[in-house]
Amino acid sequence: MTAPRTPKIPYGGDYNPEQWPETVWDEDHRLFDRAGIDTLTVGVFSWSLTQPAEDTYDLTVLDRILDRAAAEGRRVCLATGTAALPPWLAKRHPEVNRTDFEGRRHRYGQRHNFCPSSPAYQKAATALASRLAERYAEHPALLGWHINNEYGGACYCDLCAAAFRTWLRARHGTLDALNDAWCTTFWSHRYTAFDEIEPPNALTEHWRGPDHTAFQGITLDYHRFTTDALLGCFLAEKDAIRAHDPDTPVTTNFMGMFRPLDYHRWAPHLDFASWDSYPPLDAPPTWPALAHDLMRGLKDGAPFWLMEQTPSTTACRDVNPLRRPGELRLATFQAIAHGADAALYFQMRASRGACEKYHGAVIGHAGRDDTRVFREVAGLGRELQLLGAATLGARTPARTALLFDWDSWWALEISDGPSRLVRYQEVVHAYYRAAREAGADVDVVPVTADLTPYAVVLAPVLHMVKGDLATRLEAVTERGGTVLTTFLSGRADEHDRAFLTDVPGPLAPLMGVRVDEWDARPQDVVQPIAMGGLRTEARLVFELVRSRGAEPVATYGADFYAGTPAVTRHPYGAGEAWYVATALDQPGVDWVVRRILTRHALLGPYAGHAGLETATRTAPDGKRLLFLLNHTPDPAHLTAHTSATDLLTGKRFEKGEPLTLDPLGTAVLHVQ
Ligand code: GLA
Ligand code: ZN
């Protein structure tokens, strides 16, 4: 199953009319018409209204919301609403509240904090999902199902401990296998019964917080268990929906690069992926782009929904800056350029009270349609109407893959040694950024993905190498492709046990190097690196590389290993394998990645224009779309590299003609 079929990009977002008297709803719908809003996500936080007591359901408000939407010609993404508990449930069944990392059983409050192993929660949530599906499966407004909201976090209660032990039996089979996987002979941990096993938290294996564990294997398995436990909640609701509604696509809103949950384990169970984009302050444009591509990679490149973004400002940060004029439009087209087939906001109307009253909304407290934000939202609504179905279902014809692996992320960041300063996302982003800024389309894929479509495979900080991955990477180079990996790759198996071979383990033959030692240094220790004509720097970790067939491309400039390789290239089969033994600064990463892309003629047509992003999508009818996104505050003066028509303006360009993009401007070129 794929995303819901629509005649154009669904446009709208989270809408909570139950917080308002119905007279306000009239005004909402009038304003929605003005802004081209056709899709509303409803019911995300209405459990205490729809089920005011254990044996009482009351769907009258939801009925009115959906009926009104249908009468107005709008579609609804209907949430099951199981992410925020009603007070009666927590009072009656205190075990639905989570026990935190410190071992404290929480009491009623907040949201997104139910215990995934609690039968009382599971029963109530699936019963509610079932009620809603029964009632609305045939409703004319229903477009898609939105289960729960932003699943995340972990629970350490006794119910979860018991569920963890059951999960461990299924995963490891026997205690011998488990003891072996976790290396329990270290520090006298050999388990003789499953019920001796405790969830890893501040009371057991951890000190100084969730990333400091005595046993990486145990903590990794708890991350996997938590992923699966929450997935179990999702699946139980999905099954309840499916019993009444076999057809309507089901999703849940993810959070992009969200460390706690391995979304690749969830991906097969979603009908379509969706996510909420709130980029960190001051993130470069490649940061949300990486998350978009990761989300697109969940379903083999199928389009996803942008389920939430703020039209103007967030509220949860210490300081919440505005999106500047034009930034919302640019971010929205960037999402579409990377595969979004819906553009939705949090939120349609600002809530009057509580912690999100300052959160940006399409309609503010004063209900005006002449604010800057409303005008920008409405302007975008008109453009999306104009775009119609042109981008729907379009795929990204990427020839570069970037491997993204939650296991490696977790293992790297819960490791004691070599350095706590190495952050998985930062290293992965540096390589992604280099490829994207060079104009290459990039698929961000799991390590299990089919690698045959790719000429280039980037596998930075691939701490764990699992299954037959090394062989599949070798196959990429054998047929002429290029594989890159970096420091702290090929270190451990799926249980985080070191390989009993030279580093980088199963990747060593492909890389043609051997690493015996590594030097981790504080942030301010810099290694000068000379690479071609480029003088750049490296930091954090310096692996000492001995060639076993690879040729040095760059060498360290200081310390006792001055003159030894920092970057190597190894001809392998008809292709090449690159090993980057240190955390190069961005210019160094750019240099390496551009060398690789050049070999495969994958540099984009505007790779020389800093701040200009390009992204390709191929529509189901074969139309090639090239998105141009100017991330700078200045106009971008380009020369059209091909003849094309801008779908947003209808303007045609012949090859060689000047093509100017406004500051923060966008063009969606239909390339002919
Ligand atoms: C998340 C949630 C929303 C809302 C927004 C605010 O994405 O899903 O309910 O809290 O954050 O930014
Ligand atoms: Zn629990």
User: Does 594 share its domain with 625?
Assistant: no
CA-to-CA distance for 586 and 37, rounded, in angstroms? 41
Please give the distance, rounded to the nearest whole angstrom, from the Cα atom of residue 313 to the centre of ligand 1.
Answer: 12
User: Which of 599, 624, 646 is the C-terminal boundary of a domain?
Assistant: 599
User: Does 555 share its domain with 408?
Assistant: yes
**How much is the mean pLDDT over the chain?**
98
> CA angle at residue 309 from 308 to 315, to 5 degrees?
110
Q: What's the rounded mean pLDDT across residues 223-241?
A: 98
| pLDDT tens digits for range 415-454 | 999 999 999 999 999 999 999 999 999 999 999 999 999 9
Instruction: Tokens for 609, please give them.
Output: 């224009």
User: Does 58 share its domain with 130?
Assistant: yes
| pLDDT tens digits for range 616-670 | 999 999 999 999 999 999 999 999 999 999 999 999 999 999 999 999 999 999 9
Q: Are 567 and 531 in contact (CB under 8 A)?
A: yes
Q: Please, which pLDDT band fits residue 181 given cuts at 50, 70 and 90?
A: very high
Task: Check residue 1 and give its pLDDT.
Answer: 87
User: Does 463 share its domain with 522?
Assistant: yes
Give the ligand at the shortest distance from the Cα of 311.
Answer: 1
Does some domain include residue 177? no
CA-to-CA distance for 420 and 416, rounded, in angstroms? 7
Instruction: Tokens for 168, please give them.
Output: 């461990």
User: Does 317 share its domain with 466?
Assistant: no
Active site residues: 150, 308
Contacts of 386 (CB under 8 A, 6+ apart): 647, 648
Q: What is the 3-state secondary structure (H, E, C) of 19-87?
A: HCCHHHHHHHHHHHHHHCCCEEEECCCCHHHHCCECCECCCHHHHHHHHHHHHCCCEEEEECCCCCCCH
Half-sphere exposure of 437 (CA within 13 A, CB side): 23
Strand pairing class (456-459; 442-445): unpaired
User: Which of 599, 621, 652 is the C-terminal boundary of a domain?
Assistant: 599
Query: How much of the chain exceeds pLDDT 90, in percent?
Result: 99
User: Does 417 share its domain with 476?
Assistant: yes
Please give the distance, rounded to the nearest whole angstrom, from the Cα atom of residue 308 to the centre of ligand 1.
Answer: 8
The domain that contains 638 carries what CATH number?
Answer: 2.60.40.1180
Does some domain include residue 272? yes
Does some domain include residue 582? yes
Domains in the chain, number: 3
The residue segments making up the domain with residue 34 are 11-93+122-150+223-387
Q: Which is it for the CA torsion 170, 172, 174, 178, positive or negative?
A: negative
Q: What's the rounded mean pLDDT across residues 272-291?
A: 96
| pLDDT tens digits for range 463-494 | 999 999 999 999 999 999 999 999 999 999 99
Name every protein residue with a CB atom under 6 angstroms from any ligand 1 atom.
149-150, 276, 278, 308, 314, 346, 356, 359
Q: How far is CA 158 from CA 116, 162, 165, 208, in A?
A: 12, 6, 11, 22
| pLDDT tens digits for range 577-614 | 999 999 999 999 999 999 999 999 999 999 999 999 99
Task: Check residue 196 and give its pLDDT.
Answer: 98
Instruction: Tokens for 30, please give them.
Output: 């009038």
User: Does 261 share its domain with 308?
Assistant: yes
- Closest ligand 1 atom to Cα of 149: 8
Give the ligand at the shortest distance from the Cα of 274.
Answer: 1
User: Does 142 share its domain with 281?
Assistant: yes
Q: What's the rounded mean pLDDT across residues 454-458?
A: 99
Amino acid letter for position 548: R
Does some domain include residue 188? no
In this predicted structure, the answer to whether residue 378 has a pLDDT above a threshold of 90 is: yes
Q: Are 143 and 136 in contact (CB under 8 A)?
A: no
User: Does 355 share its domain with 469?
Assistant: no
Q: Please, which pLDDT band fits residue 672 given cuts at 50, 70 and 90?
A: confident
Phi, psi (rounded to 5 degrees) for 241:
-65, -45
- The preferred substitution site among 308, 309, 345, 358 for testing ligand 1, maximizing ligand atoms within 8 Å of CB, is 308
Task: Check residue 294 and give its pLDDT.
Answer: 99
Atom 12 (ligand 1): residue with closest C-alpha? 314
Task: Check residue 203 and give its pLDDT.
Answer: 98
Task: Check residue 281 and give its pLDDT.
Answer: 87
Q: Which of 110, 43, 19, 7 is nearest to 388 (CA)?
A: 7
Prior bond to 504 cis, omega within 30? yes
Q: How far is CA 149 from CA 112, 144, 528, in A?
A: 7, 14, 47
- DSSP letters for 619-649: -TTS-EEEEEEE-SSS-EEEE-SS-EEETTT
Q: How far is CA 201 from the centre of its chain?
A: 26
Instruction: Tokens for 624, please give them.
Output: 């090639």
Please give the distance, rounded to the nearest whole angstrom, from the Cα atom of residue 249 to the centre of ligand 2.
Answer: 29
Q: Are 305 and 363 in contact (CB under 8 A)?
A: no
Give the ligand at the shortest distance from the Cα of 153.
Answer: 2
- Closest ligand 1 atom to Cα of 44: 9
How many other β-carbons are positioned within 10 Å of the β-carbon of residue 97?
24
Please give the distance, rounded to the nearest whole angstrom, from the Cα atom of residue 253 to the centre of ligand 1.
Answer: 10
Q: What's the rounded mean pLDDT across residues 77-94?
A: 98
- The preferred substitution site among 112, 150, 309 for testing ligand 1, maximizing ligand atoms within 8 Å of CB, is 150
The domain that contains 294 carries what CATH number?
Answer: 3.20.20.80
| pLDDT tens digits for range 146-159 | 999 999 999 999 99
User: Does 294 share its domain with 320?
Assistant: yes
Does some domain include residue 494? yes
User: Does 502 share its domain with 377?
Assistant: no
Q: Which of 87, 84, 83 is nearest to 107 (CA)?
A: 87
Does some domain include residue 283? yes
User: Which of 355, 387, 419 is the C-terminal boundary of a domain?
Assistant: 387
User: Does 463 share its domain with 353?
Assistant: no
